[in-house]
């Protein structure tokens, strides 16, 4: 779903693979050793993955232009969701070993609530940080869909919590997730946060009321 949105709306982007697949991973290797043969190491890893039946297809950028084109598929993803209508977004993380389980479980739970929903999860597999975004059904208006935000928050965040994850990854708690923080955070941890806040800011003049 995510890749198709990019292909539909991002100018100049093309599918690098011959067939559509249920999931994609963009991998870039770097090394401090100038003599390191990264392309060869990538090819070796891909060959092993093919033999193990872990991947179906792959492409390696043979030039900077080709590598930029692959990165463009990821970098245009957020903006490519906008023409598809309203989206409900979650910035969450789970242990790396649970990423696939989380995507499968959360997608199924969200679709059970709204069968025509269009899940569009993407993110950073390497550290378990996911943008679990949900695009509205094609035939639903934005306002009706966005009214479901609290329901989908509960569905997604409960699953994150069950998998020992965090309801906030890159973007922090902010003001929107204050109530969610109190639902999932250890009360002892919250009390310690409050004590630290009081010790550092006894007059409560530093960003008052935002979290504590």
pTM metric for this prediction: 0.86
Domain residue extents for the chain: 2-78, 85-172, 173-212
List b or e across 81-109, with b for residues whose CB sees 16 or more CB atoms inside 10 angstroms.
Answer: beebbbbbbbbbbbeeebbeebbeebbee
pLDDT (tens digit per residue) in 106-141: 999 999 999 999 999 999 988 999 999 999 999 999
CATH for 173-212, options being 1.20.1300, 1.10.3470, 1.10.45, 3.10.620: 1.10.45
Percentage with pLDDT > 70 across the chain: 100
CATH for 85-172, options being 3.30.70.2740, 3.20.180.10, 1.20.200.10, 3.30.70.1060: 3.30.70.2740
pLDDT (tens digit per residue) in 18-70: 999 989 999 999 999 888 889 899 999 999 999 999 999 999 998 999 999 99
Inter-residue contact 147 to 137 (CB < 8 Å): no
Q: Report the pLDDT value the prediction gives residue 34, as an integer from 0 to 100.
A: 81
d(CA 9, CA 21): 19
State the first-to-last Cα distance of the chain, in angstroms, to the nearest integer: 38
Q: Report the pLDDT value the prediction gives residue 169, as an integer from 0 to 100.
A: 87
Q: Alpha helices of 114-186 — where are they, by DSSP H? A: 142-146, 149-162, 178-184
DSSP 8-state class, residue 82: G
Retrieve residue 93's tokens.
Answer: 């993380």
- Our measurement of the distance from residue 34's CA atom to the centroid of its chain's CA atoms, rounded to an integer in Å, reads 32
Retrieve residue 2's tokens.
Answer: 């995510």
Q: Report the pLDDT value the prediction gives residue 79, as an integer from 0 to 100.
A: 94
The CB density around residue 57, as the number of other CB atoms within 10 Å, is: 12
């Amino acid at each position: 779903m995510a890749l198709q949105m990019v292909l539909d709306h991002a100018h100049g982007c093309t599918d690098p693979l011959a067939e559509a697949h249920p999931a994609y991973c963009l991998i870039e290797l770097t090394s401090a050793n100038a003599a390191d043969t990264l392309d060869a190491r990538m090819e070796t890893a891909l060959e092993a993955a093919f033999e193990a039946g872990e991947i179906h297809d792959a492409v390696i950028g043979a030039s900077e232009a080709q590598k930029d084109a692959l990165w463009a598929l990821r970098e245009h993803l957020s903006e490519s969701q906008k023409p598809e209508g309203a989206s409900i977004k979650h910035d969450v993380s789970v242990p790396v070993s649970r990423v696939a389980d989380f995507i499968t479980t959360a997608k199924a739970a969200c679709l059970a609530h709204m069968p025509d929903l269009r899940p569009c999860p993407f993110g950073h597999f390497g550290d378990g940080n996911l943008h679990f975004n949900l695009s509205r059904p094609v035939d639903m208006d934005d306002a009706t869909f966005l009214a479901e935000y609290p329901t989908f928050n509960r569905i997604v965040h409960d699953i994150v919590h069950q998998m020992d994850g965090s309801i906030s990854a890159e973007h922090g708690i902010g003001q929107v997730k204050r109530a969610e923080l109190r639902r999932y955070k250890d009360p002892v941890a919250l009390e310690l946060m409050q004590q630290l806040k009081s010790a550092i800011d006894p007059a409560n003049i530093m960003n008052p009321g935002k979290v504590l």
